[in-house]
Chains A and B, each alone.
Chain A
Amino acid sequence: MAKKQVDLLQGTLDLLVLKSLALGPLHGLGVSNRIAQITKGTFKVKPGSLFPALHRMEEAGWLQSSWGESENNRRAKYYRLTAAGRRQFDAETQDWQRISLAITTALKAT
């Protein structure tokens, strides 16, 4: 919790959401917890950013949602990746790796 929070870059939120859903279906709170967990608390996504992102990606056909039961028998809306979402995830992952490699190399250059 003491870690400094970093503002999300435009586009990275999508990648993080796709990544967390690639491991299995989650509801909204689950997605934000999963992101906090896999980034070791660096990113904490607020509902005001999370829900617009989820709905936008759903309208784009990358995600599908359905109502289900939560771990404590509560009704919750679950999101899962579609085939298109998986392709999008792969494409964005590759893009990201290329960019981060380029930036890292650039920063190392003397």
Chain B
Amino acid sequence: MALISRLTSLWRNLFHKDRVDQEFSEEIQSYLDLLTEAKLRQGLSPREARRNALLELGGVEQVEERVREIRMGRFIETVWRDVRTGVRALVHSPVFTVVTVLSLALGIGANTAIFSVVNGLLLRPLPYPESEQIVDVWHTPPQQSFPGLDKFSVSPANYLDWKAQSTSFEQTAVYTDTAFSLSTSGDPLPLIGGVVSSDFFSVLRSNAIQGRTFTPDEEQPGHDQVVVIGHRLWQRAFGANPNIIGQTLTLNSRSFTVVGIMPAGFEFPREAELWVPLAWDDNDRKTRSIHDYLVIARLKQNVSLQQAKAEMSTISSRLEQQYPEENSGWGAVVIPLREDLVGDMRLALLVLFSAVGFVLLIACANVANLMLARGANRQREIAVRIALGAGRARLVRQLLTESVLLAVIGGLLGLLLAVWGSKLLVQLGSLPNSGDIGIDTWALGFTLLVSFGAGIIIGIVPALQFTRTSISETLKQGSGRTGGTPIKQHTRKVLVISEVALSLVLLIGAGLMIRSFWKLQNVNPGFDTSNALTMSIVLNWSRYSEPHQRLAFADRAIEQIRAVPGVVSVGTTTKIPLAGGGSTQPFSVEGRPAGAIAEQPMAQTRYISPDYFRAIGISLRQGRFFSEQDRDNSVPVVIISEAMARRFWPGENPIGKRLTPSFHSEQGAREIVGVVGDVKTSGLDVDASAMMYLPFKQAPLPFMSFVVRTSSNPESLIQPVSRAIYSIDKEQALTNVQTMEQVLTKSLSDRRFNMTLLLTFAGVALMLAAVGVYGVMNYTVTLRTRELGIRMALGAKKMDVLRLVVGQGLTLTLIGVGAGLISAYALTRLMASLLYGVTATDYLTFGSVSAVLIAVGLAASYVPARRATKVNPTIALRAE
């Protein structure tokens, strides 16, 4: 009842406002008439009666205003009126409006774009039901063998024990990813596929959209020739054929029956397009010391991450005692899936997010300054309104409406920028999970919130300033240009100082990133990156299960590639340096106590052809390279890196010493025949690790990467070299075909991404701060035109005026730089782990960036100062 009454009143007040007002005027009139009549009856003269009645009423206008204030919908009505007034005011000063809207659009747009990335990667749930329950379970390796590594893949026997003994998980699954070659009528198609246990899909709570996933008996060797294909592969390789279920495919020269199709977007592990069952035989199931698998699990609803971690620690220490030979030093750790997927990006994204927030703050400070400058002209309007009885709160609200309006228009424009910007970010950053990055309702909400916030930030200072000024002062000043009381100039200076300080922090951040990047680019990777082509191949077990088959393939491939015109030399290895991945194994040194495998030292291991070092350009330090004579029936040999020599034979000559890599212990100890230079394998920012090279011919693994040194542009040889390899076996797909330069570039791509963005933001910030300093100094000169005119009339030289104005600008800049240095000193240490080769408080960066900013501040105040020197004293004095 009451609600209906209120709603009808609201309706009437909003849409029949004139009638409501009219009716109340009549009511007041009738009240006055009745009151006058009563006074007449008391014996007053008609004039007296009217006068007394009016006095008692206390002003028709005031009563009407008070009634209006309590009416329903009053709030909506004022906001609407404020918006209309605001629009009118903005249309009235188009240049101001365009400049403000554009700077806010830039600031808000950049924020929304970065937010969409943060949202897609850090905030939004993964595309699996109840994904927050999904965790990765890893080994933690013994620190003396793997210094700095905090997680490690898992061996089959340990996984089976974990699964049998743990109670924290609803389901546990194990998987690995592998390269597949899908045979087609043309060249084989290289694909990444998951080799997964049957629980894999239920841990992810994902099911096939057609057909099914795997059953437990398909984990038995011999029953595992079934495949589930991804939506993308179904579309691109099979034309979305609905009858694909039940057909057979040739993968790695074996035939598989398609049993299911996964929904679009299901691409786990990363970039997987098909899945086959993981079928371990009895031997595999007993293997404890070869760590090759990844484990995911789904936490039970009532089990916390901490509890799961504690349980896994208990289980792994039990396994350590039970199998000290293989397991001592190996712990276990449970990490939420998202944390694992996003990994190192978190810190970088947060740094970028704060940087972009700074940019918006600087833009806001600039706009607030513009509003203050513009407000000087509106001072009179506001003073008149205060004199006419407008409340301060009412005026503040009106001014805030105007600034929020500006910010919202800026925000909408920014949204358009962000749609484009987030696409650019995905491209630039080759971000994981990139399908999830874009403008969704969250990003929309964020933009709206930021716009309102920005509107209030830019409006509140001017609004409070203007409404505080003394009415009489302002009205007395007339229409002259001397407006702008000292207090207001003070506010504007504080704003400019904060702009300078904020942009200094950003510039220092960017500077540190640039220094790191520059240092990294000058790091010697230990090999020659120019004119080299690389590609990888995984030999099918079905055709290359015998070592002599693999040897024959490698020999023929090398021979065919060498025959391609333009090829200088060719070698094979098992992992291209800097391309990601690696493989380590324990070894024992002859004459030293061997101990348990788990306690043996570790070294990165590569299996190479004799020409590998020559092809990639690794230099020989001591001894010799491998030759064609180092083969299966000759003396087992090994070449080690300098780092390994230094670490295990300090002050000794390692040549002739013997060591036994544990995976090849059946061949006995190997003689060290050479020492080669160190290479960066896991990244330019990671110290070269101990490395041993074994001749491929003495241990022919089923996978190899080719390094082809060319006499000209390596890209022109991609086609002929691929042809040469396909001519040997057309069912073997080549993967990762890229030049060595590309490998190097890719290894730095995350850093380049972070650096580019931070640099862009810092550049924008610097520009905005320069505009800010310029604006304030320019305005100061305008305000002081008269004073400067008098000074010059009294004999001040141009140089004095120049010094006066520039000096003032410089003071602002210096205070800003000082404040910025202190903040930067406190803030940059948070990004220490993103840096390489510089400390977070690198004095060179701090110094040079400050110098740049001071120079920009000087330039920005020089322009208005020049204008000041051109002041003509007579004109300046006449101006008032």
Contact between chains at B70 and A52 (CB < 8 Å): yes
CA distance A56 to B67 in the complex (A): 8
Contact between chains at A27 and B30 (CB < 8 Å): yes
CA distance A29 to B28 in the complex (A): 10
Q: Does B84 contact A (CB under 8 A)?
A: no
Taking CB atoms and an 8 Å cut-off, the chain A residues in 4-61 that contact chain B are 27-29, 46-48, 51-52, 55-56, 58-61
Q: Which of A28, A46, A77 contacts B58 (CB 8 A)?
A: A46
Q: Does B31 contact A (CB under 8 A)?
A: yes
Q: Does B5 contact A (CB under 8 A)?
A: yes
Contact between chains at B30 and A76 (CB < 8 Å): yes
Q: Does A104 contact B (CB under 8 A)?
A: no
Q: Does A75 contact B (CB under 8 A)?
A: yes
| Chain B residues closer than 8 Å to A47, beta-carbon distance | 28, 31, 56-58, 63
Contact between chains at B72 and A59 (CB < 8 Å): yes
Q: Does A110 contact B (CB under 8 A)?
A: no
- Nearest to A49 among chain B residues (CB) is B66
Report the stretch among B33-41, B178-186, B639-647, B744-752 that lies at the interface.
B33-41
Q: Does B2 contact A (CB under 8 A)?
A: yes
User: Do A74 and B72 form a contact, CB below 8 Å, given A28-B27, A52-B67?
Assistant: no
- Nearest to A71 among chain B residues (CB) is B34
Taking CB atoms and an 8 Å cut-off, the chain B residues in 57-86 that contact chain A are 57-58, 62-63, 66-67, 69-72
Q: Which of A29, A52, A76 contacts B38 (CB 8 A)?
A: A29
- Nearest to B57 among chain A residues (CB) is A47
Contact between chains at A28 and B2 (CB < 8 Å): no
Q: Does A100 contact B (CB under 8 A)?
A: no
| Chain B residues closer than 8 Å to A58, beta-carbon distance | 9
Q: Does B6 contact A (CB under 8 A)?
A: yes
Q: Does B1 contact A (CB under 8 A)?
A: yes
- Nearest to A84 among chain B residues (CB) is B1
Contact between chains at A48 and B66 (CB < 8 Å): yes
Contact between chains at B71 and A77 (CB < 8 Å): no
Q: Does B794 contact A (CB under 8 A)?
A: no
Contact between chains at A52 and B66 (CB < 8 Å): yes
- Nearest to B10 among chain A residues (CB) is A59
| Chain B residues closer than 8 Å to A48, beta-carbon distance | 58, 62-63, 66
Q: Does A94 contact B (CB under 8 A)?
A: no
Contact between chains at A74 and B33 (CB < 8 Å): yes
Contact between chains at B30 and A74 (CB < 8 Å): yes
Chain A CB count within 10 A is highest, among B4, B30, B66, for B30
User: Do A61 and B1 form a contact, CB below 8 Å, given A52-B69, A52-B70, A70-B34?
Assistant: yes
Q: Does A105 contact B (CB under 8 A)?
A: no
- Nearest to B30 among chain A residues (CB) is A76
Contact between chains at A55 and B2 (CB < 8 Å): no
CA distance A28 to B35 in the complex (A): 10
Q: Does A72 contact B (CB under 8 A)?
A: yes
- Nearest to B33 among chain A residues (CB) is A74
- Nearest to B64 among chain A residues (CB) is A51
| Chain A residues closer than 8 Å to B34, beta-carbon distance | 27, 29, 70, 72, 74, 76
Q: Which of B24, B28, B37, B70 contacts A72 (CB 8 A)?
A: B37
- Nearest to B2 among chain A residues (CB) is A61
Taking CB atoms and an 8 Å cut-off, the chain B residues in 1-57 that contact chain A are 1-2, 4-6, 9, 24, 26-28, 30-31, 33-35, 37-38, 56-57
- Nearest to A77 among chain B residues (CB) is B27
Contact between chains at B9 and A59 (CB < 8 Å): yes
CA distance A4 to B62 in the complex (A): 26
Contact between chains at A84 and B58 (CB < 8 Å): no
- Whole-angstrom distance between the Cβ of B405 and the nearest chain A Cβ: 29
CA distance A84 to B5 in the complex (A): 11
| Chain B residues closer than 8 Å to A74, beta-carbon distance | 30, 33-34, 37
| Chain A residues closer than 8 Å to B72, beta-carbon distance | 59
Contact between chains at B5 and A59 (CB < 8 Å): yes
| Chain B residues closer than 8 Å to A52, beta-carbon distance | 66-67, 69-70
CA distance A75 to B9 in the complex (A): 23
Contact between chains at B1 and A51 (CB < 8 Å): no
CA distance A59 to B6 in the complex (A): 5
Q: Which of B6, B24, B58 contacts A61 (CB 8 A)?
A: B6
CA distance A61 to B5 in the complex (A): 5
CA distance A47 to B63 in the complex (A): 7
User: Do A60 and B2 form a contact, CB below 8 Å, given A47-B63, A48-B62, A52-B67?
Assistant: yes
- Nearest to A83 among chain B residues (CB) is B1
| Chain B residues closer than 8 Å to A61, beta-carbon distance | 1-2, 4-6
CA distance A75 to B30 in the complex (A): 7
Q: Which of A29, A55, A70, A72 contacts B67 (CB 8 A)?
A: A55
Mark each residue of chain A from 90 to 108: 1 if its CB lies under 8 Å from any CB of chain B, else 0.
Answer: 0000000000000000000
Contact between chains at A56 and B70 (CB < 8 Å): yes
| Chain A residues closer than 8 Å to B62, beta-carbon distance | 48
| Chain B residues closer than 8 Å to A60, beta-carbon distance | 2, 5-6
- Whole-angstrom distance between the Cβ of A21 and the nearest chain B Cβ: 16
Residues of B within 8 A of A (CB): 1-2, 4-6, 9, 24, 26-28, 30-31, 33-35, 37-38, 56-58, 62-63, 66-67, 69-72
Closest 10 CB pairs of A and B: A61-B5, A59-B9, A52-B70, A61-B2, A29-B34, A77-B27, A56-B70, A76-B30, A28-B31, A51-B67
Residues of A within 8 A of B (CB): 27-29, 46-48, 51-52, 55-56, 58-61, 70, 72, 74-77, 84
A-B contact pairs, 19 of them (CB 8 A): A29-B34, A47-B57, A48-B62, A52-B66, A55-B67, A56-B70, A58-B9, A59-B5, A59-B9, A59-B72, A60-B5, A70-B30, A70-B34, A74-B30, A74-B37, A75-B30, A76-B31, A76-B34, A84-B1
Sample of 4 more A-B contacts, CB < 8 Å, known A59-B6, A60-B2 = A58-B9, A70-B30, A75-B26, A76-B34
